[in-house]
Amino acid sequence: MKNPLDSLWGTFAAGLVLTAVLYFLARTCMGA
């Protein structure tokens, strides 16, 4: 499988996915 970090699109897409995951994790931790 190709490393997503080898392309700029893959890098920013991975960043967006990580943002979404951490956002919902934070909301859960905060009881929101």
Using CB under 8 A as the criterion, which residues of the chain lie in contact with other proteins when the complex forms?
3, 5-6, 8, 11-12, 14-16, 18-19, 22-23, 26-27, 29-32
- Rounded to the nearest 10°, the torsion over CA 22, 23, 26, 30 is -170
- Compute the distance between CA of residue 32 and CA of residue 16 in angstroms, rounded to an integer: 21
- Closest contact distance (angstroms) between CB of 10 and other proteins is 9
- Closest contact distance (angstroms) between CB of 3 and other proteins is 8
- Closest contact distance (angstroms) between CB of 4 and other proteins is 8
- Compute the distance between CA of residue 25 and CA of residue 20 in angstroms, rounded to an integer: 9
